[in-house]
Amino acid sequence: MRIETSFTPIPEIATELLAVLAVDTQAANGRNAKPQPTLLVSDPAVLAAAAGVLATGEYKGGANETILLHAPAGVAARRLLIVGLGKQAKATVHSVREAAGTAIRFAKPRGIRKIALALPDNFSQSLPHAAVARAAVEGAFVGDFDPDTYRSERRDQSIEALAIAAPAEAGHNIIESAVAEGAIIGESQNFARALINEPGNKLTPTILGQHAAMMAQKLGLGWEVHSTEMLRELKMGAFWSVAQGSAEPPALIVLRYEPEGVQDGPILGLVGKGITFDTGGISIKPSDNMEKMKYDMAGGAAMIGVMRAIALLKPRVRVIAIVCAAENMPSGTAQKPGDVQTAMPLAPEKPGKTIEVINTDAEGRLVLADGLTYARRLGATHLIDAATLTGAISVALGKIIAGAFANDDDAYARFEAALSVSGEKFWRMPLGEEYADLIKSDIADIKNTGGRYGGAITAAEFLHTFAEDTPWIHLDIAGLAWVEETRPFIAKGPSGVAVRSILEWVRSFSSGAQA
């Protein structure tokens, strides 16, 4: 999708479809008060073109609600699309992000390939121009993605061009910079989504490593992709225990970003779970919905997407990303419940922690254990991991909010601030010795499950064992990594959740920020 920035008066923009935003300005007059949809543009021609339909009460300005007008009088665009942000008091920059995606997804099946989106020009205090421009472009890219890659008669319905129509008084350089940034972030989220969407026979650990390497080489990142011998050399017994049941070899993917002139300050370690297909191993999953376990590498894909954005946006902070990729398969060589594995030691001369494997389907924490340790060995001073780790997090938070855990309040405060920019929803969950006690083993140092109750928390405490005192955040994205039903602004399928939030967390450490 080609992105343009326009400061032309919006009635003069000749395009197939002009999208404008609206809010419901209804006062809180009680349950029976009528909605009052109000356009967030002040141009008289556009207001006049929409006045008739707004007066009917047919359109209410609800979140992502749309209404289409053909051949609007006084406007050069062939169509005028009104997209709602919902109640005025609740409208945010993220509302604009979703509305932009809604406009794109409205246009795609109708054969519309070129559209313009008008930024608000009369609501700028709570919707600042630059933030809205960036979010709109991000949302447009997210909306343009469809998962039907392998349909034999697939029709490409992608939008060819999107013009962001900004008010004349908005700073041209600021808007153009925000639009360019939004394109990078939106494309990077879609890069992650494309990886997640690939079926297990098309995206093995080796192929995932190849995709990461090609991206890194193209954009100037440092990279390494290792396999079985390196796992053995590094004594990554936890990681290898998951991979040993598959005919497909594992991939240890390492991506490095080292900005020129930055030789001190924090080193951020991004660690992603990259299970390219998860059967559960010997503790095999039920067959229902197992096909979705191709997305068990969504945390790893998110980290690769973040590194793509970092390479292009160039924050002033050093970053290392580690993705531990493997298949979790049942076979004669697979690990068994009751096995004891030895995780990677923090230093070669030290012993690694021993793990009693209670359930082979709790494999993500095993690969992350060695990934976190390796990141620390490579010098990471701050850690963040992302994984489709537990079904328990969905039981706790549903499919609406993802889980976040942290052992350091300052690191989490940065992440919480990042959410205000990314618009993604995470909820901080507890940690504590009482939960850590549940994963103590009678035969080894720890066991890989702590029972049915508090499963997301005991999984996080397992990872905490390997992060130790290093400032660390764990993101359990299992409930949000896959969109179960198509929404107005995003297709059913991979979401790319956490890419934007992790990126903003990384950027908060850029030179000049407090570590």
Residues classed as catalytic: 285, 365
Bridge partner residues of 342 (DSSP): 354
Residue 124 in tokens: 């700028």
Residue 201 in tokens: 């026979």
- H or E segment to which residue 143 belongs: helix 129-144
Among 335, 344, 323, 324, which Cα is nearest to 235's?
344
Cα 73 from Cα 71, distance rounded (Å) = 6
How distant, in Å, are the alpha carbons of 153, 399, 496 from that of 197? 18, 19, 10
Among 340, 335, 355, which Cα is nearest to 445's?
355
| Crossing angle of the two packed helices 409-422 and 499-507, in degrees rounded to 10 | 120
Q: Helical H runs in 451-498? A: 455-467
- The amino acid sitting at 309 is A
Cα 503 from Cα 188, distance rounded (Å) = 10
Among 120, 119, 209, 200, which Cα is nearest to 164's?
119
Under DSSP, is residue 496 helix (H, G, I), strand (E, B) or coil? coil
Cα 149 from Cα 195, distance rounded (Å) = 11
| Crossing angle of the two packed helices 298-313 and 172-197, in degrees rounded to 10 | 150
- The amino acid sitting at 194 is A
Among 123, 116, 121, which Cα is nearest to 75's?
116
Cα 66 from Cα 144, distance rounded (Å) = 17
Q: Give the list of residues 6+ apart from residue 468 with CB closer than 8 angstroms, or none.
A: 376
